[in-house]
Structure 1
Amino acid sequence: METILSISGLHKRFGKIHAVNNVSFEIQKGNVYGILGPNGSGKSTTLGIVLNVVNKTAGTYSWFGGTTETHDALKKVGAIIERPNFYPYMSAYDNLRLVCKIKGAPVSKVDEKLALVGLLERKDSKFRNFSLGMKQRLAIASALLNDPEILILDEPTNGLDPQGIRQIRDIITLIASQGTTILLASHLLDEVEKVCSHVVVLRKGVILYTGTVNGMISSEGFFELQADDNAQLTALLQQHAAVDKIEPHDGKLTVYLKGSLEAAELNRYLATNGLYLNHLVKRKNSLEEQFIQLTSNQPEK
Structure 2
Amino acid sequence: MEKILDINQLSKHYGPLKAVDNVSFKIEKGHVYGILGPNGSGKSTTLGMVLNVVNPTSGSYSWFEGLTSNHDALKKIGAIIERPNFYPSMDAVQNLKLVCKIKNISTDKIEEKLELVDLLSRKHSPFKTYSLGMKQRLAIASALLNDPEILILDEPTNGLDPQGIRKIRDIIQHIAAQGTTILLASHLLDEVEKVCTHVIVLRKGSMLYCGPVEEMNKNFGSILIDAKDRTTLAEFLKTQTYAGSTEDTMDGFEVKLLSDVDTTKINQDAFNAGIVLSRLMFKKQSLEDQFIELTNN
TM-score above 0.5, yes or no: yes
Aligned equivalents of 1:21, 1:63: Cα separation in 2: 20
Aligned equivalents of 1:60, 1:7: Cα separation in 2: 6
Aligned equivalents of 1:171, 1:226: Cα separation in 2: 45
Deviation per residue, 1:9-36 (Å, 9 max, x gap): 1111122222111110000111111111
SS at match of 2:148: coil
Q: Check 1:218–1:51 CA distance in 2 against 1; reply closer, same or farther (3 A cut).
A: same
Alignment of 1:226-237 (within 5 A): 229=228, 231=230, 233-237=233-237
Deviation per residue, 1:117-150 (Å, 9 max, x gap): 1111111110001011110000001001111010
Structure 1 position 235, deviation (Å): 4.7
Aligned equivalents of 1:99, 1:196: Cα separation in 2: 28
Asked if 2 retains the 8 angstrom alpha-carbon contact of 1:234 and 1:246, the reply is: no
Tell me the amino acid that sits aligned with residue 162 of structure 1: P
Structure 1 position 281, deviation (Å): 4.1
Q: TM-score, normalised by structure 1?
A: 0.90
Structure 1 position 268, deviation (Å): 5.0
Q: Which blocks of at least 5 consecutive residues in structure 2 are unaligned?
A: none
Which residue of structure 2 aligns with residue 128 of structure 1? 128
SS at match of 1:167: helix
Q: Which blocks of at least 5 consecutive residues in structure 1 are unaligned?
A: none
Q: Are 2:220 and 1:220 equivalent residues in the alignment? A: yes
Q: TM-score, normalised by structure 2?
A: 0.92
Give the number of aligned pairs.
294
Deviation per residue, 1:231-290 (Å, 9 max, x gap): 46555334312212143444x553222x21322553553455466768654332112111
SS at match of 2:285: coil
Alignment of 1:181-220 (within 5 A): 181-220=181-220
Asked if 2 retains the 8 angstrom alpha-carbon contact of 1:263 and 1:282, the reply is: no
RMSD value over aligned CA atoms?
A: 2.0
Aligned equivalents of 2:54, 2:126: Cα separation in 1: 32
Q: Are 2:114 and 1:114 equivalent residues in the alignment? A: yes
Alignment of 1:1-301 (within 5 A): 1-225=1-225, 229=228, 231=230, 233-243=233-243, 244-250=245-251, 253-257=253-257, 259-263=258-262, 265-267=265-267, 269-270=269-270, 272-273=272-273, 280-297=280-297
Task: Percent identity, please.
Answer: 62
Asked if 2 retains the 8 angstrom alpha-carbon contact of 1:81 and 1:154, the reply is: yes
Structure 1 position 79, deviation (Å): 0.1
Structure 1 position 105, deviation (Å): 3.1
Deviation per residue, 1:53-103 (Å, 9 max, x gap): 111111110001000001001111000000000011000111112212222
Asked if 1 retains the 8 angstrom alpha-carbon contact of 2:242 and 2:261, the reply is: no
Aligned equivalents of 2:260, 2:237: Cα separation in 1: 12
